[in-house]
Amino acid sequence: MPIDRDVLEAVREMGEPELRRLLMLAQARLQIHGVALGATAPEIKVRSQSVRCGKPTCSRCPHGPYWYAYWSEDGKRRSKYLGKLDELPEHVAQGIAGNDENPALGSTGS
């Protein structure tokens, strides 16, 4: 089931305390559904990408940067579009600047 755009926007506007509470709630819900957490949680990398829109007359391509989360699950590489994030925390931006990956996120993914 896709996540509603209003929910995604609300999460993007949350500060650190609210995000931590949301993470705790999500972890509790996953445990209720029998998902084991801890050492088995996937390592998530966040990367920026510029994307071509495909319009033959577009003079502004590529567009972006758009942000994607990448992880491995069941032996397959997975990705999730995160959106066009205008404001990144300084420590995240510094981690991305060199290689477009975010080592500061480690296994937390957010």
Q: What are the tens digits of pLDDT across the range 49-89?
A: 888 999 999 999 998 888 888 888 888 998 888 777 665 55
pLDDT at residue number 23 = 83
Q: How far is CA 93 from CA 68, 72, 89, 104, in A?
A: 14, 23, 6, 9
Q: Does residue 30 or residue 100 have the better pLDDT?
A: 30
The model's confidence at residue 91, banded by pLDDT at 50, 70 and 90, is low
Chain centroid to Cα 23, Å, comes to 13
Q: Going by C-beta distance under 8 Å and a sequence separation of 6 or more, which residues neighbour residue 32?
A: none
The pTM of the full predicted model, rounded to 2 decimals, is 0.49
Residue 25 above 60 pLDDT? Answer: yes
